Amino acid sequence: MLDWAEGWVKGKPKRPALLLYGAAGTGKTIAASALAQEFGWDLIALNASDKRTFQVIQQVAGTAATTGTLFAGTGGRRLIVLDEADNVYGVADRGGYRAIEELLNETRNPIVLIANNQYAIPWKIRGACLAINFRRLTQDTISGVLENICRAEGIKAEPQALESIAEGARGDLRSAINDLQTMAMGRKHLTVKDVVLYRRDREASIFDVLRQLMYSKKVNEARELLWALDQAPDDALAWIDENIPRMLTEPADLARAYDAISRADTFLGRARRRQAYGMWRYASDLMSAGVALSREGALKFVRFQPPSSGVYFGRTRAARSLRDGVAKKVAARCHTSSRVARKHFLPYLGLIFKNDKNAAARITTELELSEEEEKYLKSI
């Protein structure tokens, strides 16, 4: 980002725009704001709440992109930021991408596009941008940030409490900060017990949703129950999958409910793989209204319980993702399958990374391993 911005200081770089993409809560928007502050540029931002028709983009971003600033004249720079650039669609946004494409061709100012899913943006626009991937943050990074916040706010927090919050955030720093604020409000000391109680409150709310969901008779009613729930989509689906089928007494109801659950899981999987988080809305409709309206027969009483498989897979998801990522890189370099790489190569790499720093450094360079992937190999 700094190299690209220096290109604008010297004139106009080959690619006039940055494309910052990645999961929510990884720092894309704040990074753009920090870049503007670093270089003393005015910041002009459009986001998803704006009506981004061709005319609006031309009037707001277009004018800002092709003119100078009030005090520095034509030599001054503005940073134009278009947040949620992967959500320019529909009748209200007609011509929005055409306007963005023209901006990139005509701009005399730096432009930053921010998106969760880079592939939802037309390839002509992507080709004009320097794409930078913001990956999910590690648990250690998140707990370190939470520790700094607590220190600044005069809150004494037990390390285990912050680690527990960081683990639950799953790489989303914004979510972790929101959880910390909720738990620490009005306190000067934060303990593991406080975190456990907060999570119990969240579990209590999911119990309420499960109790009411299968009595919903309207789509909107079922939707609103899920929307009011403070749970990640994957977690909510795990609770529903674990408990709702046990309430159903008719085989036909059970088949329809499982069909809705499996389709919701498919959409969530696509959202994760493609970082196309707009698919969450399809998953949420299926796991709420789809499940609720599948019932025609009677219900039986069951004692709700946390998702058993979800607990294990939730804790190990990050490690498995790192493992699979390293295995793919090894497989591509060694012309084998990821399964063979996992079984036969990774154990030896683990030994090398623990015992031979020079060889580990060469392998890291050869495979272009990230810092998290290095740590994973050292931990095997």
Within a 10 A sphere around the Cβ of 22, how many other Cβ atoms? 20
Reported as a pLDDT band with limits 50, 70 and 90, residue 20 is very high
Q: What is the pLDDT of residue 221?
A: 83
CB environment 97-108: b (16+ within 10 A), e (fewer):
bbbbebbbeebe
Q: Whole-number mean pLDDT of the chain?
A: 80
Q: For residue 200, is pLDDT > 70? A: no
Tokens of 248: 């159903």
Q: For residue 228, is pLDDT > 70? A: no
Distance, CA of 245 to chain centre:
29
Where do the domains of the chain lie? 2-134, 139-190, 201-304, 311-379
- For residue 224, give every residue at least 6 positions away whose Cβ sits within 8 Å of its Cβ, in sequence order, or none: none
DSSP-derived letter for residue 120 is G
Q: What is the pLDDT of residue 64?
A: 56
Percent pLDDT > 70 in the chain is: 81
Assigned CATH class of 139-190:
mainly alpha
Q: For residue 48, is pLDDT > 90? A: no
pLDDT in tens, 156-165: 988 888 888 8
Q: Please name every residue paired with 150 in a beta bridge, in sequence order, or none if there are none.
A: none
DSSP letters, 278-325, are GGHHHHHHIIIIIHHTT--S-B--------HHHHHHHHHHHHHHHHHH
- For residue 206, give every residue at least 6 positions away whose Cβ sits within 8 Å of its Cβ, in sequence order, or none: 229, 231, 236, 239
Within a 10 A sphere around the Cβ of 170, how many other Cβ atoms? 20
The mean pLDDT of 177-195, rounded to a whole number, is 84
pLDDT in tens, 290-319: 988 888 888 888 887 777 655 445 545 666
Alpha carbons 106 and 4: distance in angstroms, whole number: 18
Reported as a pLDDT band with limits 50, 70 and 90, residue 54 is very low
Give backbone dihedrals phi and psi of 315, rounded to 5 degrees, phi first: -70, -30
Alpha carbons 10 and 91: distance in angstroms, whole number: 40
Percent pLDDT > 90 in the chain is: 20
Q: Which of 291, 159, 100, 300 is nearest to 214 (CA)?
A: 291
Most distant CA pair in the chain, distance: 73
Q: Residues 138, 166: contact at Cβ < 8 Å?
A: no
The mean pLDDT of 128-136, rounded to a whole number, is 91
| Range from 2-11, 198-207, 264-273, 332-341 carrying the lowest mean pLDDT | 198-207
Q: Residues 104, 111: contact at Cβ < 8 Å?
A: yes
Alpha carbons 32 and 81: distance in angstroms, whole number: 7
- Predicted TM-score (pTM) of the model is 0.51
Q: For residue 173, is pLDDT > 70? A: yes
Residue 238 burial (10 A CB sphere; 0-12, 13-18, 19+): buried
CATH topology of 2-134 equal to that of 139-190? no
The mean pLDDT of 46-50, rounded to a whole number, is 53
CATH number of 2-134, picked from 3.30.565.60, 3.40.630.10, 3.40.50.140, 3.40.50.300: 3.40.50.300
The mean pLDDT of 246-256, rounded to a whole number, is 90
DSSP letters, 256-282, are HHHHHHHHHHHHHHHHHHHT-GGGHHH
Reported as a pLDDT band with limits 50, 70 and 90, residue 238 is confident
Q: What is the pLDDT of residue 256?
A: 92
pLDDT in tens, 60-96: 555 555 555 544 444 567 888 888 787 665 434 446 6
